[in-house]
């Protein structure tokens, strides 16, 4: 059948199983929005307050479900407003398809009104991008874009469509999406046997699991290998929630703000087993920090092997498949002395909890964890509150921690929480924010209220840009340049102005009743949780320092 480009686009999205799009209309995408109106019973369009909010919402939708998140914007500034969200998804390997309109083909390259070379701009932060110059290519391109976004190491793909392409006509035939096959081409018996030999011979193995575990859905395989070889395990920020928080071999997060146990064991192990992680500079950025260990790296992306850290053995392939095959070659191990060492470090790291009247991040997340019946999902902005959310909340199921890791995007969390809440209607989504981050994209409260999304925002309010202030305290002799906010914003009145509900917490005894009230309220809530601006994130490893040179609260 002959259809317009706009009709082909919407039908192709339906072929791919798309049920939700986050976006903002404009002149170059009017034909697309006209078709969305006609198909509004099949595809829900969420009008965000800003295009950046749309890209973060698509990202949050994808992280919460593992499906492709979709966002849509017009040409020029509409398209460029998506770029931060696209880059966020790229850095954390999140499947997303971003669709942008552009001026008509004859106006391209002429500095036309609201024209920008969005494919040129996004080339470094997409897995692939397209500009559609022939309507006959549109259906194929949409199909390819969704495949590329999901296959192998996931990531964002951009499709730029000039306005005349959305009006032109071509033949459309319904096509079943190409099945996503797990990458197994380079999983060889030789590589498996080499890795298995190193693991079987090790006496002090340590597992460092990254976001690849989440992307591959390799949760059960990870537990099986941990239990079989009796190895302590730490997760990167991107793998938080992928492994049971209460497992006796779990040592918490690894890296700059990782647990003391995780960081010390990394420096003491004789074998570091790295699964779906990329040796970020916020985790391990110097070979000398782990010079006593042999290193195994298993990852789906060959470009990551030996990129940041030289390894002794590696396997390239889908983590779920690799671990399934590897487990069969591994011997059951006890590692009694090593486990004893881990437990000693754990006991020494137990911190006395203060029951004074002062509000603390620990208290917040302890009470939040106690109320969680397994239905809570936490998104975060970026900063101290993000680290506290990673350190102190008890995540009970996978894909319940949604956060910008690689790019560290302030203003990410509220949009992401909207995307997650749209995807997980039976869950309760909390956005953990700092007062600085929240100020960047708080306009998305309008989106939450308009769509009656019961997102609960907790602002850990320290009247400062807390993480930057912490660095100024440690490394700049306390010169707090532009990090003390001293704003007069009343967050309770702000959310009420948008049409939501607001609470403020100054005392410990106020917190649980406020949380319960927030949970009972069927709509967006903002809780202003006020803490002291000198509260810091511990432990901490200084930038560039060895991973076992840990700054603890008692050291300061």
DSSP codes of every residue in 108-154 = TTTT-TT---HHHHHGGGSSEEEE---GGGHHHHHHHHHHHHHSSS-
Query: What b/e readout covers 495-525, taking b as 16+ CB neighbours within 10 angstroms?
Result: beebebbbbbbeebeebeebbeebbeeebbb
Q: Of the residues 67, 127, 163, 341, which is catalytic?
A: 163
Round to whole Å and give the CA distance between 313 and 428. Answer: 42
Instruction: Report the mean per-residue pLDDT for the chain.
Output: 96
For the chain, give the percent of residues with pLDDT over 70: 99
Average pLDDT (166-172) is: 97
Q: Does residue 353 surpass a pLDDT of 70? A: no
Average pLDDT (95-114) is: 94
Q: Of the residues 1, 38, 106, 113, which is catalytic?
A: 113
Q: Does residue 445 surpass a pLDDT of 80? A: yes
Catalytic-residue membership of 358 = no
* pLDDT score of 291: 81
> Rounded to two decimals, what is the model's pTM?
0.96
Q: Does residue 216 surpass a pLDDT of 70? A: yes
Q: Could you give phi then psi for residue 73, rounded to 5 degrees?
A: -150, 160
**CB neighbour list of residue 365: distance below 8 Å, 6 or more residues apart:** 388, 389, 391, 392, 393
Average pLDDT (349-354) is: 63
pLDDT digits (tens, 9 = 90+) for 392-440: 999 999 999 999 999 999 999 999 999 999 999 999 999 999 999 999 9
Q: Of the residues 7, 16, 35, 51, which is catalytic?
A: 51
Q: Does residue 285 surpass a pLDDT of 80? A: no
Q: Does residue 352 surpass a pLDDT of 60? A: no
* pLDDT score of 546: 87
User: Which secondary-structure segment (H or E) carries 51?
Assistant: helix 51-65
* CATH superfamily of this structure's domain 189-349: TPP-binding domain (3.40.50.1220)
* pLDDT score of 357: 78
Nearest Cα to Cα of residue 389 among 246, 220, 505, 245: 245
Average pLDDT (129-153) is: 98
* CATH superfamily of this structure's domain 361-555: Thiamin diphosphate (ThDP)-binding fold, Pyr/PP domains (3.40.50.970)
Domain segments of the chain as ranges: 2-171, 189-349, 361-555
Nearest Cα to Cα of residue 224 among 117, 113, 300, 326: 326
pLDDT digits (tens, 9 = 90+) for 187-208: 999 999 999 999 999 999 999 9
User: One fold for both 189-349 and 361-555?
Assistant: yes
Catalytic-residue membership of 540 = no
What would the two tokens of residue 348 be? 């020494």
Round to whole Å and give the CA distance between 257 and 209. Answer: 16
pLDDT digits (tens, 9 = 90+) for 506-519: 999 999 999 999 99
Q: Does residue 354 surpass a pLDDT of 70? A: no
Catalytic-residue membership of 1 = no
Average pLDDT (27-43) is: 98
* CATH superfamily of this structure's domain 2-171: Thiamin diphosphate (ThDP)-binding fold, Pyr/PP domains (3.40.50.970)
* pLDDT score of 138: 98
How many Cβ atoms are within 10 Å of 16's Cβ, its own excluded? 20
* pLDDT score of 439: 96
For the chain, give the percent of residues with pLDDT over 90: 92
Q: Does residue 235 surpass a pLDDT of 80? A: yes
Q: Of the residues 341, 467, 491, 538, which is catalytic?
A: 467
Query: 15 near 145, Cβ under 8 Å?
Result: no
Catalytic-residue membership of 467 = yes
Q: Of the residues 114, 228, 346, 362, which is catalytic?
A: 114
Catalytic-residue membership of 91 = no
* pLDDT score of 355: 60
């Amino acid at each position: 059948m002959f259809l317009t480009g706009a009709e082909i686009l919407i039908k192709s999205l339906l072929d791919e199983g798309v049920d939700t799009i986050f976006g903002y209309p404009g002149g170059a995408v009017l034909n697309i929005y006209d078709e969305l109106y006609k198909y509004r019973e099949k595809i829900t369009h969420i009008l965000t307050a800003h295009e950046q909010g749309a890209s973060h919402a698509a990202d949050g939708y994808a992280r919460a479900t593992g499906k492709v998140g979709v966002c849509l914007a017009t040409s020029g500034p509409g398209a460029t407003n998506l770029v931060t969200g696209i880059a966020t998804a790229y850095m954390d390997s999140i499947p997303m398809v971003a669709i942008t309109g552009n001026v008509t083909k004859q106006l391209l390259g002429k500095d036309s009104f609201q024209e920008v070379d969005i494919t040129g701009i996004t080339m470094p932060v997409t897995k692939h991008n397209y500009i559609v110059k022939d309507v006959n290519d549109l259906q194929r391109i949409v199909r390819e874009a969704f495949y590329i976004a999901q296959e192998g190491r996931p990531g964002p793909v951009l499709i730029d469509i000039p306005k005349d392409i959305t009006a032109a006509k071509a033949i459309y035939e319904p096509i079943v999406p190409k099945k996503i096959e797990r990458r197994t081409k380079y999983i060889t018996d030789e590589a498996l046997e080499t890795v298995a030999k190193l693991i079987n011979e090790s006496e002090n193995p340590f597992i460092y699991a990254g976001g690849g575990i989440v992307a591959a859905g390799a949760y059960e395989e990870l537990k099986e290998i941990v239990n079989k070889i009796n190895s302590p395990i730490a997760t990167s920020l991107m793998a938080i929630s992928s492994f049971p928080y209460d497992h006796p071999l779990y040592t918490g997060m690894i890296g700059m703000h990782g647990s003391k146990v995780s960081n010390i064991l990394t420096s003491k192990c004789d074998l570091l087993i790295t699964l779906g992680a990329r040796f970020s500079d916020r985790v391990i950025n110097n070979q000398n920090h782990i010079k006593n260990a042999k290193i195994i790296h298993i990852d789906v992306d060959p470009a990551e092997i030996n990129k940041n850290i030289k390894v002794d053995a590696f396997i390239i392939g889908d983590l779920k498949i690799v671990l399934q095959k590897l487990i069969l070659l591994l011997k059951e191990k006890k590692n009694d002395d090593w486990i004893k060492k881990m437990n000693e470090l754990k006991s020494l790291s137990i911190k006395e909890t203060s029951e004074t009247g002062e509000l603390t991040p620990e208290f917040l997340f302890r009470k939040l964890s106690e109320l969680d019946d397994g239905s809570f999902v936490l998104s975060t902005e970026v900063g101290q509150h993000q680290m506290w959310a990673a350190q102190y909340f008890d995540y009970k199921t996978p894909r319940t921690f949604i956060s910008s890791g690689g790019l560290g995007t302030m203003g990410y969390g509220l949009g992401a929480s909207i995307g997650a809440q749209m995807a997980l209607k039976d869950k309760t989504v909390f956005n953990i924010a700092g007062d600085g981050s929240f100020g960047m994209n708080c306009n998305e409260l309008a989106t939450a209220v308009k769509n009656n999304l019961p997102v609960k925002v907790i602002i850990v309010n320290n009247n400062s840009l807390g993480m930057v202030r912490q660095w100024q305290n440690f490394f700049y002799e306390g010169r707090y340049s532009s990090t003390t906010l001293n704003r007069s914003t009343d967050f309770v009145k702000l959310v009420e102005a948008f049409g939501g509900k607001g609470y403020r917490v100054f005392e410990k005894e106020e917190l649980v009743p406020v949380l319960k009230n927030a949970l009972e309220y069927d709509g967006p809530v903002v809780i202003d949780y006020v803490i002291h601006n000198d509260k810091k994130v511990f432990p901490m490893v200084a930038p560039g320092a060895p991973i076992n040179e840990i700054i603890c609260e008692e050291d300061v």
